């Protein structure tokens, strides 16, 4: 058998008390399928009938791309010309074809075509990558009925409505299927919907009894049926339809529908018929089209372009008016220009027309104020930044061989400005793996290994207390216990207060290799040592409850000889592994009994005990408990119960509360450690008592009607009372590696974290504690619609008013809170969220959520995830990031400003819809705090510098035109202007955008608070933008007027020759090249040989260009023929003017930065100085102290737990100190 696994063929229907079991006509009358929204007809096993209308439905092909071959050109061009500058240059390129243009057409059209073409090529490449990932899904294979009872494999995208498919264990469903039969005799199957709704518990699905015999390939040879059902819709939890088979009509419900992208578990195979395909499937109906996202900086850049365009229009109008005035006054006296026969653009008789025509000339001439090469430079820089993200070895997951992936480079800088993270839970924060870590039996705590949260918090606390030793005498006196060793911190005043001990095992080494699901370490229970415990009888009962009270299936692996378990929830699996490792191995289940192999009291001869299962009351989110009634080999009737501690404690008898107080204390400790807890209890039953109850129970179970569940719950309630407390379990929902540290550092970086999950509220709260979004002492605000479902006709309005009151009261409570350290957590479920997201309530809900330290939304649908994300994005106006790993996260990933997909094992839907993909949640810290911080500062500085250099260059054209009577004449040769942005200044600015680092990656991670520079937009606010623009204006004034002063009215060369326009223009251009390249060198903090090569190489390139251009024949070079060799090179004034102007242009920036670093330094300035003088190496204690001081006070993360613990220590010491003073002699 494959993998050496053996499974018994079972009928499971007797186990499930509360599961609705449709039995043909017994389950109710057929649904009334008519009217709009219920028009779909599916001919089962007759797919050929669906090739023609009206039965021709969508194919199963899916696409998440933004473009296709037909729409690429129009949509991509639209995207390019959404940019304001591109529209301007398109108009300028058109006008360059007219006689009024001061430049040739090629000098305007070629740059525009290059910029737009390069950007479109980048878009095409990114969309091609999306297409390839889509095809990975579309080309998955599934077993399809091909006719005559023969099945064969076919790609997903070739499946059509009506096909009968066979899906094997652990495979995804290729479309929305109607379950026909399964490997279980009574048509049950287990489905994992984690990829859809985040639920880790397996869902039980059951086919109609009429189709359950269809459990072999051959029987489908003659099978036909018709399904009438609802049209495609996004509701994951509803389905209405009828099955017409053998002239009988059977109603269909959600319990028979298997949704695309959910997975078959614990079941060898199922047969199903395809109902909804491709984009008609419910999961795809929940997705939205790939949005076109633009970063906040790019949007703000449009506003700067508008400002520059306004400046351009103003100076063009000035030039136009000036030209009109000059034409009217001076043109008549210029007889040599034949004013009587001049065209309109020079006619003194039509100065207004001349001015209007000149306006077009001026708009083109001063177009260099608006940098066309800015966009292409940014595109190049972003692509290179994305390459660095993709190749970052620190974000490479070695286990799965998965690197980080920037699937779009448009949003790199947005990574550095995130305010709120909205995260999925399962698969994103957690591994969906439970580890049995601790337990409490008879009021005694067992288990010495610490949880990940405890380890992280203890490490942080030790660091914090170390840093406070020197200046906090109180805490210096606290003794520490680390790994069982007490270390004194001074004198023994505080000997009664000790830090928590962090233990892995007694000798520091794990005695056994790691066992999945079992991380328990305590010699008092291991290896049969529990038999020597004074409460061994209670421990025996505890272990038997673990081994018997469940619905799991054992599987024997013949290769290893061990049993593994496939359970409905990971918790159950962990309990069974724990029972097995402690000597109580669940080994077999048949129709009526479970068998447990007990090792003790004689390990050499284990005893296999049978427990006859009489009734099972399964776990539901409403009951929050499960019970099993069994008869042991001695004939004793027992009820074993496990559930939430609050539920179990309410059902204890008076003599069953012996261990309640001690157990409650330990349960609180487990909760603080981020562990998931369940309480275990039991009671013995008398035969007469059970017989009477079972009669009533069977009547309720056999009843048909709407009140069936109410009757069952009432009967179950009668049995589940007067229990005796046995103990409690504490399992660790294994967080992905590094999640607590990542969340803590993200909190230190000032980020808010929301968790949106499909899990039930208890699970979500447990995970909140695990990852330190919740902690003991944090005030939880739970908003729910509990107990409001039974209201009358006005129930909806009453529920809405109740929720509004809850939100209002919670907001008022937060406002009235006086404790500065108080922290609030908002917890809300999906049903309540439906009302809270209404238009008249959503802003109040958002205000409350923003005031809370953490927000957890549970039981939310994919649509609600997207709506919450939209509310946060639009309501706060700040950058949001959504991260998830499943198809249920696609909506919020696409709705957020930045979408991050976890490329885990649960499909690729989230990754395909995302902007960035990482393999583990912990990599998000580096993606944001390092790459986000760098990319934001690089792009911000790059854009500011671009505007600076183009203003410095473009305004000199305006000054010269004003100086020459608004003639429209350029002082620079056309080729100079063409090479300015493309060659001579492009590479330095690209090197700034790619390689600049204000601090190293290690420092970014040590000082996460630096991230707030981006979130507060310190480097791209209007103050800084206008400052750089002002610097450009100053530079243009210096370049033009200082050169005019130097060269006017004095000889240029030794022979008395004065400078002509070519010499003056070339000198001014040389000054600009030197000034702007020196400016970018001053702005950089981090140099590599590449930056040096690009900056000084660009200056050298200018002189090389002049040399080559001067050699070219005068037909091409014009007045610039031999200008460097014969005209400028031999003239000392040229070199001295270049030096003087460059110094004068950069002097104000040098003064500004020196003043700022001396008197008003920013955070990174201080760190740069420490690193420059190597203080971090010479005095590492000081460096750690600075890092600790830089930590922000947060209310989430384990640092917040540590801070709260330290405050408790201080409070205890303050209480102790007065007592010591009172007892000391005077």
Q: Residue 460 phi/psi, 5° resolution?
A: -65, -40
DSSP letters spanning 640-654: EEEE-HHHHHTTB-G
Quickly list H helices, 790-855: 795-816, 830-836, 842-851
**Options 424, 829, 885, 915, the catalytic residue:** 424
Q: Phi, psi (5° rounding) for residue 657?
A: -105, 20
Count of CB atoms within 10 A of residue 547's CB? 27
CA distances in angstroms from 228 to 30, 49, 233, 250, 817, listed in the order given: 11, 15, 15, 10, 58
Identify which of 1012, 1054, 1037 has the alpha carbon closest to the alpha carbon of residue 1163: 1012
1075 touches 952 (CB < 8 A): yes
- Taking the alpha carbons at both ends of the chain, their separation in whole angstroms is 85
H helices then E strands: how many in the chain?
40, 36
Counting Cα atoms < 13 Å in the Cβ hemisphere of 472 gives 17
Q: Is there a contact between 999 and 1167 (Cβ–Cβ < 8 Å)?
A: yes
Task: Count how many residues are written for the chain.
Answer: 1226
CA-based nearest residue to 779, from 737, 813, 733: 813
CB 1019 within 8 A of CB 1010: no
Spatial distance between the Cα atoms of 539 and 534, rounded to a whole number of angstroms: 10
Is 424 annotated in the active site?
yes
Phi, psi of 237 (to 5 degrees): -110, 15
Nearest to 1131 by CA among 1054, 1050, 1020: 1054
In 3D space, the residue among 846, 885, 1162 whose CA is nearest the CA of residue 998 turns out to be 1162
* Cα–Cα distance measured from residue 218 to residue 613, given in angstroms and rounded to the nearest whole number: 36
Residue ranges of E strands in 203-262: 203-206, 225-229, 241-245, 248-252, 257-258
Given a contact cutoff of 8 angstroms between Cβ atoms, the answer to whether 139 and 174 are in contact is no
| Tokens describing residue 1163 | 């955070």
Other Cβ atoms less than 10 A from the Cβ of 128: the count is: 12
Among 126, 244, 266, residue whose Cα is nearest residue 178:
244
**Phi-psi category of residue 203: left, alpha or beta, with phi > 0 → left and psi -120 to 50 → alpha:** beta
Three-class SS of 138-161: HCCEEEEEEECCEEEEEEHHHCCC
Question: With contact defined as beta carbons under 8 Å apart, do 642 and 549 qualify?
Answer: yes
Q: Kindly provide the b/e burial profile for residues 47-61, where b requires at least 16 CB atoms within 10 angstroms of the residue's own CB.
A: beebeeeebebbbbb
**Is 502 within 8 Å of 483 (Cβ atoms)?**
yes
CA nearest to 7, candidates 565, 628, 581, 575: 565
- Cα torsion angle, 689, 692, 694, 696, sign: negative
3-state secondary structure 179-200: EEEECCCCCEEEEECHHHHCCC
Report d(CA 404, CA 989) in Å as an integer: 26
In contact, 788 and 799? CB cutoff 8 Å: yes
Which of helix, strand or coil describes residue 167? strand
DSSP annotation of 501:
P
List, by residue number, the catalytic residues.
424
């Amino acid at each position: 058998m494959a993998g050496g696994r053996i499974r018994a063929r079972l009928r499971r229907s007797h186990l499930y008390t509360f599961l609705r079991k449709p039995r043909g006509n017994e389950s109710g009358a057929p649904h009334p399928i008519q009217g709009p929204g219920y028009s779909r007809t599916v001919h089962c096993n007759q797919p050929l009938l669906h090739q023609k209308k009206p039965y021709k439905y969508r194919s199963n092909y899916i696409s998440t791309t933004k473009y296709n071959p037909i729409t690429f050109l129009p949509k991509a061009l639209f995207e390019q010309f959404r940019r304001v500058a591109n529209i301007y240059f398109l108009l300028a390129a058109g006008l360059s074809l007219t006689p009024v243009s001061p430049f040739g057409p090629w000098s305007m059209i070629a740059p525009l075509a290059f910029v737009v073409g390069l950007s479109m090529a980048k878009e095409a490449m990114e969309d091609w990558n999306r297409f390839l990932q889509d095809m990975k899904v579309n080309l998955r294979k599934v077993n399809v009925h091909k006719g005559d009872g023969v099945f064969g494999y076919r790609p997903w995208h070739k499946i059509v409505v009506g096909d009968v498919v066979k899906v094997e264990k652990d495979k995804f469903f290729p479309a929305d299927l109607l379950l026909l039969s399964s490997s279980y005799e009574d048509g049950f199957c287990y489905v994992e919907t984690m990829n859809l709704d985040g639920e880790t518990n397996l869902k039980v699905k059951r086919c109609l009894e009429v189709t359950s015999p269809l459990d072999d390939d051959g029987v489908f040879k003659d099978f036909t049926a018709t399904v009438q059902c609802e049209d495609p819709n996004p509701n994951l939890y509803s389905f209405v339809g009828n099955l017409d088979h053998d002239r009988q009509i059977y109603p269909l419900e959600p319990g028979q529908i298997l949704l695309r992208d959910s997975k078959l578990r614990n079941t060898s195979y199922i047969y199903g018929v395809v109902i909804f395909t491709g984009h008609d499937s419910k999961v795809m109906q929940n997705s939205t089209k790939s949005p076109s996202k633009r970063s906040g900086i790019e949007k703000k850049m449009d506003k700067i372009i508008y400002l520059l365009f306004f400046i351009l229009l103003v100076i063009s109008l000035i030039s136009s008016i000036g030209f009109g005035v000059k034409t009217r006054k001076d043109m008549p006296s210029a007889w040599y220009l034949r004013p009587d026969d001049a065209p309109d653009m020079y006619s003194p008789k039509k100065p207004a027309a001349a001015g209007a025509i000149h306006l077009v000339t001026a708009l083109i001439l001063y177009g260099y104020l608006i940098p066309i090469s800015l966009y292409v430079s940014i595109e190049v820089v972003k692509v290179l930044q994305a390459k660095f993200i993709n190749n970052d070895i620190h974000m490479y997951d070695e286990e799965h061989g998965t690197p980080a992936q920037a699937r779009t480079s448009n949003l790199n800088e947005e990574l550095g400005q995130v305010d709120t993270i909205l995260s999925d839970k399962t698969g994103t924060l957690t591994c969906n793996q439970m580890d049995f870590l601790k337990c409490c039996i008879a009021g005694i705590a067992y288990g010495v290994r610490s949880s990940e949260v405890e380890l992280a918090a203890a490490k942080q606390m030790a660091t914090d207390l170390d840093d406070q030793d020197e200046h906090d005498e109180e805490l210096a006196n606290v003794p520490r216990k680390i790994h069982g060793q007490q270390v004194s911190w001074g004198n023994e005043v505080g000997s009664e207060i000790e830090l928590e001990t962090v233990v892995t095992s007694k000798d520091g080494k794990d005695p056994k290799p790691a066992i999945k699901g079992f991380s328990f370490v305590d010699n008092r229970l291991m290896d049969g040592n529990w038999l020597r415990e004074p409460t061994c009888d209670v421990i025996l009962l505890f272990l038997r409850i673990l081994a018997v009270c469940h619905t799991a299936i054992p599987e024997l692996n013949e290769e290893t000889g061990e049993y593994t378990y496939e359970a409905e929830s990971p918790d159950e699996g962990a309990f069974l592994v724990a029972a097995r490792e402690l000597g109580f191995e669940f080994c077999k289940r048949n129709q009526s009994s479970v068998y447990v192999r007990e090792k003790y009291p004689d390990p050499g001869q284990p005893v296999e005990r049978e427990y006859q299962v009489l009734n099972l009351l399964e776990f539901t989110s409403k009951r929050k408990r499960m019970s099993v009634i069994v008869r042991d080999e001695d004939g004793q009737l027992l009820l074993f119960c496990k559930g939430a501690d609050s539920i179990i404690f309410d059902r204890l008898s008076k003599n069953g509360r012996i261990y309640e107080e001690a157990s409650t204390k330990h349960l609180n400790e487990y909760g603080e450690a981020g562990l998931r807890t369940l309480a275990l209890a039991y009671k013995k039953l008398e035969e007469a008592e059970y017989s009477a109850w079972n009669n009533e129970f069977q009547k309720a179970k056999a009843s048909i009607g709407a009140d069936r569940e109410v009757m069952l719950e009432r009967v179950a309630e009668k049995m589940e009372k007067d229990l005796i407390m046995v103990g409690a379990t504490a399992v660790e929902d294994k967080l992905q590696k590094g999640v607590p540290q990542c969340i803590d550092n993200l909190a230190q970086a000032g980020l808010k974290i929301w968790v949106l999950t499909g899990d039930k509220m208890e699970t979500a709260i447990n995970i909140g504690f695990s990852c330190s979004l919740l902690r003991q002492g944090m005030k939880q605000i739970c908003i729910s619609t509990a107990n409001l479902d039974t209201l009358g006709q006005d129930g909806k309005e009453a529920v809405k008013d109740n929720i509004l009151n809850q939100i209002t009261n919670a907001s008022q409570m937060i406002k009235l809170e006086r404790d500065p350290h108080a922290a609030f957590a908002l917890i809300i479920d999906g049903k309540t969220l439906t009302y809270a997201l209404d238009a008249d309530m959503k802003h109040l809900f958002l205000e409350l959520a923003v005031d809370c330290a953490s927000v957890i939304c549970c039981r939310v649908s994919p649509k609600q995830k997207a709506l919450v994300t939209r509310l946060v994005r639009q309501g706060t106006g700040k950058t949001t990031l959504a991260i998830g790993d499943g198809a249920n996260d696609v909506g919020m990933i696409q709705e957020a400003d930045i979408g991050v997909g976890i490329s885990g094992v649960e499909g690729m839907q989230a990754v395909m819809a995302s902007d960035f993909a990482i393999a583990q949640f912990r990599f998000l810290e580096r993606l944001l705090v390092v790459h986000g911080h760098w990319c934001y500062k690089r792009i911000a500085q790059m854009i500011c510098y671009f505007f600076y250099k183009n203003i410095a260059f473009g305004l000199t054209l305006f000054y010269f035109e004003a100086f020459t009577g608004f003639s429209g004449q350029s002082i620079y040769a056309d080729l100079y202007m063409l090479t300015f942005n493309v060659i001579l200044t492009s590479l330095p600015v690209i090197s700034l955008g790619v390689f600049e680092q204000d601090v190293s990656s290690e420092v970014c991670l040590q000082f996460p608070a630096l991230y707030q520079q981006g979130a507060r937009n310190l480097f791209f606010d209007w103050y800084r933008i206008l400052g750089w623009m002002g610097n450009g204006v100053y530079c243009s004034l210096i370049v033009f007027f200082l050169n005019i002063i130097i060269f006017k009215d004095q000889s240029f060369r030794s022979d008395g020759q004065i400078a002509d326009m070519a010499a003056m223009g070339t000198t001014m251009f040389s000054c600009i090249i030197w000034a702007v390249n020196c400016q970018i060198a001053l702005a950089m903090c981090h140099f590599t040989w590449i930056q040096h090569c690009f900056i000084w190489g660009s200056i050298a390139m200018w002189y090389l260009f002049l040399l080559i251009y001067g050699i070219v024949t005068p037909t091409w070079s014009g007045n610039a023929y031999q200008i460097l060799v014969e005209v400028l090179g031999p003239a000392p004034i040229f070199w001295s003017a270049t030096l003087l102007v460059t110094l004068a242009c950069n002097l104000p920036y040098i003064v500004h930065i020196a003043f700022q670093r001396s008197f008003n330094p920013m955070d990174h300035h201080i760190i740069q100085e420490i690193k420059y003088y190597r203080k971090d190496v010479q005095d590492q204690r000081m460096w750690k102290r600075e890092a600790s001081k830089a930590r922000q006070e947060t209310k989430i993360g384990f640092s917040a737990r540590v801070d709260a613990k330290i405050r408790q220590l201080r409070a205890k010491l303050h209480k102790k100190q007065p007592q010591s003073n009172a007892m000391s002699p005077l």
